[in-house]
Amino acid sequence: MQPPRKGDTLLQAAVKVLNTPDPWLKAKFGDAAATLWMDGSISVAYNENDQVLVPDRPARLPLAKLVAPQQMPKLGKGGSLRSRQALLHSLVHIENWAIDLSWDIIARFGKEEAMPREFFDDFVKVAREEGRHFTMLAARLEQLEAFYGSFPVHDGLWDSAASTANDLSARLAIEHCVHEARGLDVMPTTVSRFRNGGDNATAELLESVVYPEEISHCAAGVKWFTFIWLRANLTSPSAPFTRINSNTERIIEETNTYQDCRHSGNEGSCEEKIVTQSGASVELNYTCDRNDGLDFLKSSFISQNVVPAFHAIVKKHFRGPLKPPFNEAARAKAGFGPEWYLPLSTRFSK
């Protein structure tokens, strides 16, 4: 296999990672590609004439027995060595897929959706971290006298990726705001199981390294899902959007710039710019002489416009409701408040 190298585009480097079947080499190539991108040795995300074929399914060695999700044996609660091995093996497998998912979103959607550089920066960072998680957890598994392949696995994560292969918003919503967020929900319990089983080394690795970085991965999903919606809906003067309240008025109507004021009428005066479009970049910007209006404007606008779009996409691409309990603190750190997920939960969904 040819490693990523200086002079590749990021798209070419990403496909090299996806086409690498050995998971340790995949992680190594991913780290090399990330380094080349971050130090400027790979300076171009893609060329318009790139004819690189993104694989429908990443190359993978058949290291573990593949079974349907419903046929997976119970992992246990970490009370025995066998249970702790099974729990850690499951995490190693998830991180292996996470490497491919991160490079796939770059390769599959970056050029097609004309995404800005910040998108590539964010997901290169995610990909590098997922590779490090895999390498560290796989090494820890061997210290527990097991190895990647000791237990059966399922490929539910890639099944979700395949079903969202033609829709970046859906990929972000399902992989990063459903699956990644679910990982945040169960992480404290997982850490406790290792710690209660006497395995403080694995507990510390998960708690101090994996957990905080996974929060940022969920945050990337929220951030770029919001970006896609804003770019699609707020870059034309005729694009509809929900008013913040009855006093909200569109102050300026011109191509690529929208401004709304919460404090119109009798509430005072200010100027709060919601969205500006420059090239491929869409930004939320606010200037207001009343501080209480800033957070209100942003949260209300997102809640009334972007969040319902998220709900619709999840209902279309994810089977069944989301299951509590939710790790509200971790989700909040990712910018993923309850308005995003509670209406989709078993308690509130219809």
Model confidence at 88: pLDDT above 70: yes
Extract the runs of DSSP E, i.e. beta strands, from 285-331.
Answer: none
**Overall average pLDDT of the 215-221 stretch:** 96
Place of tokens 């945040």: 184
**Overall average pLDDT of the 323-328 stretch:** 94
- State the virtual CA torsion across 226, 228, 229, 231 in degrees, nearest 10: 120
Model confidence at 336: pLDDT above 90: yes
The whole-model pTM stands at 0.83
Q: Please choose, from the candidates 340, 115, 133, the residue with its C-alpha nearest in 3D space to the C-alpha of residue 217.
A: 133
Segments making up each domain of the chain, as ranges: 10-233, 236-318
Model confidence at 3: pLDDT above 80: yes
Model confidence at 291: pLDDT above 50: no
According to the model, what pLDDT value does residue 51 have? 80
Strands 249-254, 257-261: parallel, antiparallel or unpaired by DSSP? antiparallel
Model confidence at 285: pLDDT above 50: no
Q: Please choose, from the candidates 135, 154, 151, the residue with its C-alpha nearest in 3D space to the C-alpha of residue 143.
A: 135
- State the virtual CA torsion across 293, 294, 296, 301 in degrees, nearest 10: 120
The answer for residues whose C-beta is within 8 angstroms of residue 167's C-beta and 6 or more apart is 313, 317
Do the Cβ atoms of 310 and 322 come closer than 8 Å?
Answer: no
Do the Cβ atoms of 73 and 9 come closer than 8 Å?
Answer: no
Model confidence at 232: pLDDT above 60: yes
Model confidence at 157: pLDDT above 90: no
According to the model, what pLDDT value does residue 52 have? 87
According to the model, what pLDDT value does residue 347 have? 61
DSSP H helical segments within 146-210, as ranges? 156-163, 168-171, 180-196, 200-205
Residue type, 145: E
pLDDT band at 233 (very low <50, low <70, confident <90, very high): confident
Do the Cβ atoms of 58 and 18 come closer than 8 Å?
Answer: yes
Neighbours of 92 (CB within 10 A): 28
Per residue in 46-80, pLDDT (tens digit) is 998 878 899 999 999 999 888 888 888 888 999 99
According to the model, what pLDDT value does residue 298 have? 59
pLDDT band at 299 (very low <50, low <70, confident <90, very high): low
User: Which position has the higher pLDDT, 303 or 345?
Assistant: 345
According to the model, what pLDDT value does residue 300 have? 73
Identify the DSSP state of 72. P
**Overall average pLDDT of the 255-280 stretch:** 39
